[in-house]
């Protein structure tokens, strides 16, 4: 449950109703402090499996577990009141069968209180989307560049860059819409393709490295805050250099400890003032 009880959280149907009305602003979060800071400004917060890379320093998203994802999602849910919260199903937790996907989606939602799940995969995963939706699990689909498919895709490469690939990704998106997905993440696809998919579908598209014409946008929060290292991905924009602020604060702290100016007596218990 959220720590706030007097505010109504954005629902999945409310997100869908924004199609053609206004843009959806979305970001990732994995921890309570970030979630609290983001909540007032966003329509949706995603606990992405990018937690593996951003939060744990892993080389890809493949090794994070369902239990880890659910724990991070629970922290975000407890710390927010407004944004719709969606949690990624990690690699290996849903691809085997619709039944496996439902069991693990139910576990993740029950453990975290999140509002829905996100799954990567093309048209081959549409039946799994249908299976979940028919059993009460809201599904945000994810097509185009799919990090969980990094090995079969040969790396993190833009998708839909020729006519055949673009048509396949369009059909992937259509298949998930027909299966009942409430929205589609379009990652790392050709701009014209993302625009075409957005115009074709009746459900919201959420772009990341896609098109300004998508119904919404999402970024990894650490990318837009300057916390992901020196290299900013092409699809991101750094809106602030929070890393520089943190480094400056840590430098001041370390210097204060070493020169004896911290802690002061005001920071101590039972100390008598001189």
Say yes or no: 225 and 165 in one domain.
yes
C-alpha neighbours within 13 Å on the C-beta side of residue 233: 19
Query: 70: domain range?
Result: 12-240
* pLDDT single digits (tens) 15-32: 999 999 999 999 999 999
88 appears as a binding residue in the annotation: yes
- Going from the C-alpha of 29 to that of each of 6, 60, 150, 171, 250, the distances in angstroms are 22, 17, 22, 30, 23
Task: Report the domain count for the chain.
Answer: 2
User: Is residue 92 a part of any domain in this protein?
Assistant: yes
Say yes or no: 154 and 250 in one domain.
no
Angle at 105 between CA 103 and CA 111, to 5 degrees: 100
Q: Which residues are catalytic?
A: 187
Helix ranges restricted to H, 135-262: 150-153, 163-179, 191-200, 221-224, 242-259
What is the rounded distance in angstroms from the CA atom of residue 75 to the CA atom of residue 48?
A: 13
What is the rounded distance in angstroms from the CA atom of residue 206 to the CA atom of residue 141?
A: 10
Say yes or no: 53 and 142 in one domain.
yes
Say yes or no: 115 and 148 in one domain.
yes
118 appears as a binding residue in the annotation: yes
User: Is residue 4 a part of any domain in this protein?
Assistant: no
Say yes or no: 212 and 144 in one domain.
yes
177 appears as a binding residue in the annotation: no
* pLDDT single digits (tens) 52-67: 999 999 988 999 999 9
User: Is residue 51 a part of any domain in this protein?
Assistant: yes
Say yes or no: 144 and 116 in one domain.
yes
Say yes or no: 210 and 223 in one domain.
yes
* pLDDT single digits (tens) 65-107: 999 999 999 999 999 999 999 999 999 999 999 999 999 999 9
50 appears as a binding residue in the annotation: yes
CATH code for the domain in which residue 189 is found: 3.20.20.60
């Amino acid at each position: 449950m959220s720590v706030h009880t007097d505010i109504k959280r954005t629902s999945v149907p409310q997100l869908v109703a924004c199609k053609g009305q206004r843009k959806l602003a979305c970001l990732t979060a994995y921890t309570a402090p970030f979630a609290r800071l983001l909540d007032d400004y966003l329509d949706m917060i995603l606990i992405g499996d990018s937690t593996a890379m951003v939060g744990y320093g892993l080389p890809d998203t493949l090794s994070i577990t369902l239990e880890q994802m659910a724990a991070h999602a629970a922290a975000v849910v407890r710390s927010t009141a407004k944004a719709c919260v969606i949690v990624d199903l990690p690699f290996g937790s849903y691809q085997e069968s619709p039944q496996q996907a439902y069991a693990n989606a139910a576990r993740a939602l029950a453990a975290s209180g999140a509002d829905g799940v996100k799954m990567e995969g093309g048209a081959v995963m549409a039946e799994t989307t249908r299976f979940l939706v028919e059993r009460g699990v809201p599904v945000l689909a994810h097509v185009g560049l799919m990090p969980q498919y990094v090995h079969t895709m040969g790396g993190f490469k833009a998708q839909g860059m020729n006519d055949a690939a673009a048509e396949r990704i369009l059909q992937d998106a259509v298949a998930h819409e027909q299966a009942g997905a409430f929205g589609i993440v379009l990652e790392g696809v050709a701009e014209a393709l993302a625009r075409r998919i957005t115009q074709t579908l009746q459900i919201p598209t959420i772009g990341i490295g896609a098109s300004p014409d998508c119904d919404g946008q999402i970024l990894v929060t650490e990318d837009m805050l300057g916390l992901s290292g020196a290299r900013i991905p092409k699809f991101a924009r750094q809106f602030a250099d929070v890393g520089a602020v943190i480094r400056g604060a840590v430098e001041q702290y370390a210097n204060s400890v070493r020169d004896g100016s911290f802690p002061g007596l005001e920071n101590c218990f039972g100390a008598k003032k001189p």
